[in-house]
């Protein structure tokens, strides 16, 4: 207390700096008891902390057993226990400093400790003590009675001040809740981005599935081509063997022609008939060269391949 008293004695600049440190960021007034200290070391009036927390409860953005909210000064997330705001510790040091500050203001122990009353520019002897609701400006009583605001609706300046302060406080609490909601949405979308980023394996699975299908088709193609090639070779071997046999018979036939010419000169009929018998040559079956049975019907298969799509519903069960 001695140290604080010595600090606030020098004058108005020190007092103004001290007052800035003792203003609640929600209600913009000097902290009212009790003053609670958050884990981030920032202070709030307990009433203001509870107002911010209640707004979050109404918007359904508070979670946990006791709830949570964000510090209005630094946006640090404060996790409450089952006692809620009443479970936060009081900052007795700040409360003592506020008591000393207010005591010094009441005593008027230094110049400029109390703010000078505002004087009406139209009536220097009158203080500004009322508020013109129509013109939305502070004024004095004489301006209401004789001056430019005589036909306007007025209200006590203190009442308007409290009303505006309350509206500002509610607006700040609402903005805090909205900011928390936006922050929650941002966190949710960031989680979605990470989930999408981690789903790259899905692309690899699809690629592997299609590559496996291509491998099966390539393997089947080689098997079909091998079957055609084997059948072609077999038929060519058979035809070449027949060509050799017929070539041999052709040689024999030439010899027979020569012999037949010789036999035609035979005088005996029986010898001629016996010598003119020909041999039976092997022949190819009708349509032996036709390879039509080695055709492949891929119309239905081509249609299925062209209509490969992603599975719906079964993808997660099958792991594809």
Residue for token pair 């202070």: 43
Task: Check residue 1 and give its pLDDT.
Answer: 29
Task: Check residue 61 and give its pLDDT.
Answer: 58
Output the six-digit token pair for 208.
């592997």
Task: Check residue 43 and give its pLDDT.
Answer: 92
Q: What is the rounded distance in angstroms from the CA atom of residue 107 to the CA atom of residue 298?
A: 103
Nearest CA to 50 among 6, 7, 87, 10? Answer: 87
What are the C-alpha distances in Å from 159 to residues 123, 135, 154?
22, 16, 11
Q: What is the rounded distance in angstroms from the CA atom of residue 66 to the CA atom of residue 54?
A: 12
The phi, psi pair for 23, rounded to 5°, reads: -100, 130
Q: What is the rounded distance in angstroms from the CA atom of residue 74 to the CA atom of residue 156?
A: 36
Residue for token pair 């409290």: 162
301/61: higher pLDDT: 301
**Percent of the chain having pLDDT more than 70?**
80
Output the six-digit token pair for 111.
């110049």
The phi, psi pair for 230, rounded to 5°, reads: -65, -40
Task: Check residue 213 and give its pLDDT.
Answer: 85
131/274: higher pLDDT: 131
pLDDT one-digit tens code per residue, 44-68: 998 888 888 887 777 665 555 557 8
Q: What is the rounded distance in angstroms from the CA atom of residue 36 to the CA atom of residue 34?
A: 6
Q: How buried is residue 319: exposed, middle or buried, by Cβ count under 10 Å (0-12/13-18/19+)?
A: exposed
Task: Check residue 194 and give its pLDDT.
Answer: 84
pLDDT one-digit tens code per residue, 80-109: 888 888 888 989 988 888 888 888 776 654
pLDDT one-digit tens code per residue, 166-193: 888 888 888 888 888 898 889 889 888 8
The helix or strand, by DSSP H or E, that contains position 108, with its residue range, turns out to be none
Going along the chain from its start, the domains and CATH numbers come out as 12-108 (3.30.40.10), 119-152 (3.30.160.60)
What radius of gyration do the chain's Cα atoms show?
Answer: 53
């Amino acid at each position: 207390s001695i140290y604080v008293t010595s600090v606030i004695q020098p004058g108005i600049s020190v007092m103004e700096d001290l007052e800035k440190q003792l203003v609640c960021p929600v209600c913009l007034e000097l902290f009212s008891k009790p003053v609670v200290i958050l884990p981030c070391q920032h202070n709030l009036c307990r009433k203001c902390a509870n107002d911010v927390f209640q707004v979050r409860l109404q918007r359904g953005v508070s979670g946990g057993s006791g709830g949570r909210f964000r510090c209005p000064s630094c946006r640090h997330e404060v996790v409450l226990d089952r006692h809620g705001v009443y479970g936060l510790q009081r900052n007795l040091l700040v409360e003592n400093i506020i008591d000393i500050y207010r005591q010094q203001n009441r005593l008027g122990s230094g110049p400029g400790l109390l703010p000078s009353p505002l004087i009406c520019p139209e009536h220097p002897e009158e203080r500004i003590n009322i508020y013109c609701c129509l013109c939305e400006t502070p004024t004095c009583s004489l301006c209401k009675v004789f001056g430019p605001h005589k036909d306007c609706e007025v209200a006590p300046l203190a009442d308007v001040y409290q009303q505006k302060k309350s509206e500002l406080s509610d607006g700040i609490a609402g903005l805090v809740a909205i900011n928390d909601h936006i922050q929650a949405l941002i966190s949710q979308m960031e989680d979605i981005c990470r989930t999408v980023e981690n789903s790259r394996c899905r692309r690899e699975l699809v690629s592997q599935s299609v590559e496996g299908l291509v491998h099966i088709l390539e393997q089947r193609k080689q098997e079909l081509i091998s079957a055609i090639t084997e059948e072609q070779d077999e038929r060519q071997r058979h035809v070449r063997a027949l060509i050799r046999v017929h070539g041999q018979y052709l040689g024999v036939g030439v010899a027979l022609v020569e012999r037949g010419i010789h036999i035609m000169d035979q005088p005996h009929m029986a010898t001629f008939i016996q010598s003119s018998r020909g041999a039976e040559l092997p022949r190819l079956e009708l349509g032996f060269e036709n390879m039509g049975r080695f055709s492949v019907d891929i119309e239905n298969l081509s249609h299925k391949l062209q209509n490969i799509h992603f599975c719906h519903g079964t993808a997660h069960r099958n792991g594809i």
